[in-house]
Amino acid sequence: MRVDNARRSEKIRIVCIGDAHDAPHIPDKSRFAQIGRYIRTIRPDVVVQIGDFATLNSLSTHAIDADGKPSFMADMASFDEALGTLNIIGAERHCTLGNHEARLYRFERTAPPVTGMMRHALQETFARHQWSFSPYGQVTLYGGVGFAHTTLNQLGRTYGGKAPEQDIANDALHDLVLGHSHVHRHHRAPKIGGNNSIQIINAGCALPDNHMEDFARHSVTGWSYGIVDLAIQHGHVQDYSFITMATLAEKFRRKLHGPPRRRAVKT
Q: How confident is the model at residue 66 (pLDDT cuts 50, 70, 90)?
A: low
Tell me the pLDDT tens digit for each residue of 157-175. 888 877 788 889 989 989 9
Q: Per CATH, the architecture of 12-257 is what?
A: 4-Layer Sandwich (3.60)
DSSP conformation letters of the chain: -----S-TTS-EEEEEE-B--B-TT----HHHHHHHHHHHHH--SEEEE-S-SB--GGG--SS--GGGPPPHHHHHHHHHHHHHHH---SSEEEEE--HHHHHHHHHHHH-GGGTTHHHHHHHHHHHHTT-EEE-TT--EEETTEEE-S--B-TTS-B--SS-HHHHHHHH-SS-EEE-SS--EEEEEEEETTTTEEEEEEEE-B-SSTT---GGGTTS-----BEEEEEEEETTEEEEEEEEEHHHHHHHHHHHHH-SPPPPPPP-
Q: How confident is the model at residue 255 (pLDDT cuts 50, 70, 90)?
A: low
pLDDT on residue 2 = 53
